[in-house]
Amino acid sequence: MKFVDPAGTYNNYTSEIIKPKRYVNIPGGSNRAVIQVKITSGDVKLYADASGDDANFILAHTFTASSVDEVVVTPRMRIVATGEAEVWLGV
């Protein structure tokens, strides 16, 4: 999945709620995904919600430089990109 401002203006973009299909609620288990962030300016915030309740997102990570990282996949996730930032999430 690629996340950028759909208008192409790169002022601010908040993704829809992501419900990764790879997530399996197994006690003690963990699912992981790869996130690639390309930042010319601005930042990217990754929010996660392990409970599945509405409006229970917490900030899991803030990216201020381009990188490729491994992240834990939760039942619901959200990505917020500001400035000129592109995000790819492999789930």
Reported as a single tens digit per residue, the pLDDT across 9-62 is 545 566 666 666 655 555 555 577 888 999 988 888 898 887 766 668 889 999
Locate the domains of the chain by residue range.
2-90
2-90 carries CATH number 1.10.260: no
Say what the pTM is: 0.73
* Residue-wise DSSP of 12-69: EEEPPPB--TT----TT---EEEEEEEESSS-EEEEEESS--TT--EEEEEE-S-EEE
